[in-house]
């Protein structure tokens, strides 16, 4: 590569690094996300690995995540992921930069000495601008995160300790209310509004209120014991078997139903406390005398195991909220192609669907994924049998490896294919 070619590409890369997520979206195959916006987050299928709501992009933070697979905060990483590129390879990295900028990689035509100096000066200036912009985004992201955490904490604090969530859980687990494991930190919001999309007629682009009905509210708790977020599950006691409402997007009435669960604030690094926790000076802490830890994605699955087990007096029961928080980020170098699934890229070429590595990302921070309680020596991870099996198996292997690093004995329990533990209990076949 000539010096002029290298210099031109250096500037090209710096320009790409300065592109914000919002500006890059129009150059990527993500137009289908625009109608799935809710409180600043774009949600929809991932062009690289499919699903219906697997990919989330929040330009305001900025951040993006492909559930259980990958994530980041820059447009180049998002482009590489959705286009099936390996950003650790120079050629793929430049192709991702080209996608972000919407123009081809420079060919490095000959330049004069004055042009070279001018180009180097522009590179230095672009780097300075990028660093200033990154620092500003970090400050804004921290402010946004703190405000969202405060709103989520308030939503949980003002919910009622008793209410329809008790009836919902009893019906979901096919038991009487008095048989339910005591989960004192679950609450009911009697009138919780479901916001989705935006009103195109309103210049403020405010979210649209689809309905208001009762919802179960659960806190996300950091290892410090502070409430950093909340988990919402809308309830419809007339809809069997899961007693959650069927939510249709009015802009896409024939599309996939919208999720009946949402999260506010921060979930990464936290957990939903169910059984075996106590409150002290406003903090929610795990019982240090319980050496066993049982955790799954959902509240209902973990409570199903707690119900079957008693619950056990030596066990802490919790939920991670979702598979990504349970498994943690993957080693970017270990992803693999799905054995059967393929997805057409923007040129119509079928490419393999990528699955996140079963190996954890090296040197990850504690707030990147759920952490086991300090005294946990025996950990049981609950898998979902109704999720895509290859991605779920890889994620559960990643969670097991990550949590074994503390020296704990970690095992994974799987329900039959196509169901979860709460389903089995509701059908009265669990344990038979």
Q: Where do the domains of the chain lie? A: 3-138, 158-329+364-426
Taking residue 117's Cβ as centre, other Cβ atoms within 10 Å add up to 12
Beta strands in 244-367 (DSSP E): 261-265, 272-275, 277-280, 283-286, 292-296, 315-319, 336-344, 350-355
Q: Which helix (H) or strand (E) holds 211?
A: strand 207-221
d(CA 128, CA 120): 12
Of 255, 256, 216, nearest to 236 (Cα)?
216
Q: Per residue of the chain (432 residues), what is the pLDDT tens digit? A: 555 556 678 888 888 888 888 778 878 888 777 544 445 677 877 777 666 677 888 877 778 888 656 788 888 999 888 887 888 888 888 888 888 888 888 875 555 667 667 766 766 776 677 678 767 777 877 888 899 999 999 999 999 998 999 999 999 999 989 999 999 999 999 999 999 877 666 656 678 889 999 999 999 999 999 999 999 999 999 999 899 999 998 888 888 899 999 999 999 999 999 999 999 999 999 999 999 999 999 999 999 999 999 999 999 999 999 999 999 999 878 888 888 888 776 677 788 888 889 999 988 889 999 999 999 999 999 998 878 889 999 999 999 999 999 899 999 999 888 788 887 776 553 344
Residue 121 gets the label, from left (phi > 0), alpha (psi -120 to 50) or beta, of alpha
Residue 331 gets the label, from left (phi > 0), alpha (psi -120 to 50) or beta, of beta
Of 226, 231, 311, nearest to 276 (Cα)?
311
Residue 285 — φ and ψ, nearest 5°? Answer: -125, 145
Residues 6+ apart with CB under 8 A from 171: 237, 243
Contact criterion met (CB below 8 Å) for 234 and 214: yes
Q: Peptide bond preceding 311: is omega within 30 degrees of 0, i.e. cis?
A: yes
Query: How large is the C-alpha radius of gyration of the chain?
Result: 23
Taking residue 341's Cβ as centre, other Cβ atoms within 10 Å add up to 15
């Amino acid at each position: 590569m000539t010096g002029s070619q290298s210099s031109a590409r250096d500037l090209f890369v710096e320009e790409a690094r300065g592109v914000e997520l919002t500006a890059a979206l129009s150059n990527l195959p993500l137009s289908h996300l625009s109608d799935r916006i809710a409180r600043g987050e774009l949600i929809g299928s991932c062009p690289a690995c499919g699903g219906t709501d697997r990919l989330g992009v929040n330009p305001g933070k900025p951040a993006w995540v492909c559930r259980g697979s990958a994530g980041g905060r820059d447009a180049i990483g998002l482009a590489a992921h959705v286009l099936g590129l390996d950003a650790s390879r120079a050629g793929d990295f430049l192709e991702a930069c080209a996608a972000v900028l919407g123009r081809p990689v420079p060919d490095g035509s000959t330049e004069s000495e004055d042009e070279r100096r001018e180009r180097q000066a522009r590179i230095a200036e672009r780097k300075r601008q990028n660093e200033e912009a990154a620092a500003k985004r970090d400050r804004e992201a921290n402010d946004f995160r703190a405000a969202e955490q405060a709103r989520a904490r308030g939503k949980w604090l003002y919910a009622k300790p008793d209410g329809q969530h008790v009836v919902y859980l009893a019906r979901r687990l096919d038991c009487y209310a008095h048989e339910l494991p005591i989960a004192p930190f679950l609450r009911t919001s009697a009138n919780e509004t479901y916001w989705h999309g935006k009103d195109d007629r309103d210049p403020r682009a405010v979210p649209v209120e689809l309905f208001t009905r009762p919802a179960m509210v659960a806190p996300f708790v950091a290892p410090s014991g502070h409430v950093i977020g909340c988990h919402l599950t809308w309830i419809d006691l007339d809809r069997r078997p899961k007693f959650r409402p069927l939510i249709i997007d009015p802009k896409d009435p024939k599309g996939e139903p919208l999720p009946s669960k949402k999260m506010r604030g921060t979930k990464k690094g936290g957990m939903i406390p169910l059984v075996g926790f106590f409150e002290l000076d406003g903090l929610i802490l795990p019982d240090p005398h319980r050496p066993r830890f049982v955790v799954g994605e959902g509240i209902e699955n973990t409570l199903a195991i707690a119900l079957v087990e008693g619950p056990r007096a030596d066990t802490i029961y919790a939920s991670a909220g979702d598979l990504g928080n349970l498994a943690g980020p993957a080693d970017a170098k270990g992803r693999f192609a799905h054995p059967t699934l393929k997805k057409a890229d923007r040129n119509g070429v079928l490419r393999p669907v990528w699955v996140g590595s079963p190996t954890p990302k090296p040197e990850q921070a504690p707030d990147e994924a759920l952490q086991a309680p300090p005294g946990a020596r025996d950990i049981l991870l609950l898998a979902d049998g109704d999720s895509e099996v290859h991605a779920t198996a890889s994620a559960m292997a990643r969670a097991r490896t990550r949590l074994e690093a503390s020296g704990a004995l970690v095992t994974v329990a799987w329900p039959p294919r196509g169901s979860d533990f709460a389903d089995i209990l509701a059908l009265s076949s669990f344990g038979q």
